Amino acid sequence: MEKLEVLITEEQLRSGVAELAERINRDYNGEELLVVGILRGAFVFLADLVRRLTMPVVIDFVAVSSYGDDTQSSGVVRILKDLDESIAGRHVLLVEDIIDTGLTLKYLYENLKARHPASLKVCTLLDKPSRRRVDFNPDYAGFTIPDYFVVGYGLDCGQRYRNLPMVCVIRQEQEGCPPFAGGEQPR
């Protein structure tokens, strides 16, 4: 753990997720919701979030990749696993772990919008607005964070650390993680 520094504690995550769920429950007012998680990073957040939703919920997943390396969006997004559900006429909530440049979500949002859902909203656990390359704003965001590369609670570095119960900042250079370009790391 010495390479990692806690940025968002388990307790903060719990109350942040609870607040998001309360807002979503209020906004959809009992309407059935199709919750679509973006694999793999959103799986922990989605699991905690949906257990606090009170309307009827259906869950599906989509997997995307962006060309380029794993930690840097190139802007070209490819759907690796499409939805199993048809979304036409349904209320859809896209759930993401983190919005960074915004390229992934902008692409997915437009792709899903073209399938004529009754409504389409986006809920992200983390938002790094300072890194945005396209204009994209989530409907729900749990925590706004500075330009740190973070892991844990579903987020990875070279596929590791997804199982950590809190969100941490990586303090040392590690294989599979981006260099500390942009953004000073907390000590």
Residues forming the site for ligand XMP (CB under 6 A)? 41, 73, 96-105, 149-151, 155-156
User: Which residue, 44 or 105, has its beta carbon nearer to ligand XMP?
Assistant: 105
In whole angstroms, what separates CA 62 from the centre of its chain? 12
* Contact partner, 46, from ligand XMP, Mg ion, none, Cβ < 5-8 Å per class: none
14-43 binders of Mg ion (CB under 5 A): 41
Integer Cα distance of 80 and 107 in angstroms: 14
Which strand (E) or helix (H) includes residue 24? helix 10-28
Strand 119-127 relative to strand 33-39, pairing: unpaired
Does the annotation mark 100 as catalytic?
A: yes
At 5, which amino acid appears? E
Q: Which of 97, 100, 127, 156 is catalytic?
A: 100
At 8, which amino acid appears? I
* Contact partner, 62, from ligand XMP, Mg ion, none, Cβ < 5-8 Å per class: none
Least distance from Mg ion to the Cβ atom of residue 50, Å: 21
* Contact partner, 141, from Mg ion, ligand XMP, none, Cβ < 5-8 Å per class: none
User: Which residue, 34 or 108, has its beta carbon nearer to Mg ion?
Assistant: 108
User: Which residue, 117 or 152, has its beta carbon nearer to ligand XMP?
Assistant: 152
Q: Would you please indicate which residues are annotated as catalytic (active-site) residues? A: 100
Residues that bind Mg ion (CB under 5 A): 41
